Amino acid sequence: MTAHTFFPSGPLTGRIRVPGDKSISHRALMFGALAVGRNRISGLLEGEDVLATAAALRAMGARIDRDGSDWVVDGVGVGGLLQPGEALDMGNSGTSTRLLMGLIASHGITAAFTGDASLSKRPMGRVIDPLSQMGASFTPSPGGTLPLMMEGLQPAVPIEYRLPVASAQVKSAVLLAGLNTPGVTSVIEPVATRDHTERMLRGFGAELSVEEGDGARIIRIHGPADLHPCDIEVPGDPSSAAFFAVAASIVPGSDLVIENVGLNPTRDGIFRVLRQMGADIAFIDEREVGGEPVADLRVRHAVLEGIAVDPAIAPSMIDEFPVLFVAAALARGTTITRGLEELRVKESDRLSAMAAALRLAGAKVEESDDGLTITGTGGTPLPGGGPVTTHLDHRIAMSMAVAGLASGDGVAIDSAEPIATSFPNFIDLIAQAAA
């Protein structure tokens, strides 16, 4: 592990482009691998998590190659996945693990899943439960974690499944299993989560319907599905753009344009909350890219105000709370967050990791069971310090990097390596924007 210090920067200015959306990149590779024929993907995120998905799909028979700046995927067709010859190493990636478990559940193959120390602590019971109901069998490690072995069943049994937690990964795992399951597989989602799976599967020609009523959504997929090959353009990742939106908001004098940012309403909560706090964020040239709403974001420095964040907005910004906490630490007054117990089972326990990290950097933070309460400086730089522990969590690393930019002495993190899972050129882009 190599420690890295992020020093206070000058204003962030100019125009930057963040890499492709991680959620969409995983799905583009997976659905391409299940289409019959050749798919072309532009803007794919070339982060370690997505490359773990690509490696696993190759091990199950798909051909996936880089072609210039695009990626080309030759799919095997739904039902055509092959028995992998070795364990599937998922690295740090929960999305790869849970979605691929869904795919394999309805194929007659056996697979072993392994991952790094962070992923090996994360709960897999939430996908094992519905996929077992569909007929797959699992031998997980104690506590329902990785490493685990699974055996799919072909044909699997269609189910109707009500999500007990708001999780797009669990929803997607069941829908992906449904692709190769005869009949109708349904997922009932009491709280809307990111809907990239639904949007993209329709684009690939799957028979998928969404019914909305009483606040719940019922998603039905008819299997077995025939997916036709697609050309996909992956928009910039709002979760990556969020680090720069907060950085430009809290570093005085900043005026930064972040181009081509995905603004799917199931993902854009961070920008709505930052605006509620008084951030100066303009959406320019709103358009559609690859079936997803997109805009360029112009972000100018502003003094933020603490607020009580509505817990109902959490699913649309579930990955952005670490960096929101940094914004809160620089705001005037107190920011209160609740209803965030899911943050404890991400790449790290993000409530306790961010509470500890921000305190080390000099912020005033109280931790409750389900949120943080942060009293901000009103715009005065945080003292800084560290090294803070990132727990193999890219978003803790990048959030504290942003805190460093708005600090007196800089913030050190114990390791910058986790950043490569989702945002390999993060440090270069900071240098570019701060130059």
* Of 111-119, 168-176, 244-252, 289-297: span binding ligand S3P (CB under 6 A): 168-176
By CB under 6 A, residue 95 contacts ligand S3P: yes
User: How many angstroms separate the CA atoms of 289 and 424, rounded?
Assistant: 22
Q: How far is the CB of 96 from ligand S3P (least distance, A)?
A: 9
Is residue 27 marked as binding? yes
Is residue 167 marked as binding? yes
User: How many angstroms separate the CA atoms of 321 and 335, rounded?
Assistant: 12
By CB under 6 A, residue 92 contacts ligand S3P: no
Given a contact cutoff of 8 angstroms between Cβ atoms, the answer to whether 400 and 413 are in contact is yes
Spell out the alpha helix ranges (H) of 209-363: 238-250, 269-276, 321-330, 350-360
Can you state the percent helix, strand and coil of the chain, rounding each to 5?
A: 35, 30, 35
Is residue 43 marked as binding? no
Residues in CB range of 70: below 8 A, 6 or more apart: 40, 41, 42, 44
Q: Catalytic annotation on 255?
A: no
Is residue 23 marked as binding? yes
Q: How far is the CB of 249 from ligand S3P (least distance, A)?
A: 22
Chain length of the chain = 435
By CB under 6 A, residue 124 contacts ligand S3P: no
Considering only CA atoms, which of 103, 88, 101, 154 is closest in space to residue 129? 101
* Catalytic hit among 319, 369, 370, 409: 319
Binding residues among 172-231 for ligand S3P as defined by CB under 6 A: 172, 194
Interacting residue with ligand S3P among 299, 302, 318, 396 (CB under 6 A): 318
Given a contact cutoff of 8 angstroms between Cβ atoms, the answer to whether 300 and 274 are in contact is no
User: How many angstroms separate the CA atoms of 245 and 398, rounded?
Assistant: 12
Between 23 and 240, CB nearer to ligand S3P: 23
By CB under 6 A, residue 167 contacts ligand S3P: yes
Applying CB under 6 A, the site for ligand S3P has a residue count of: 9
Given a contact cutoff of 8 angstroms between Cβ atoms, the answer to whether 38 and 229 are in contact is yes
Q: How far is the CB of 318 from ligand S3P (least distance, A)?
A: 5
Binding residues among 19-48 for ligand S3P as defined by CB under 6 A: 23
Q: Which residues are annotated as a binding site for phosphoenolpyruvate?
A: 22, 94, 122, 169, 350, 395
Could you give the residue numbers annotated as active site? 319
Contact footprint for ligand S3P (CB under 6 A)? 23, 95, 167-169, 172, 194, 318-319
Annotated binding residues, written as ranges, equal 22-23, 27, 94, 122, 167, 169, 319, 346, 350, 395
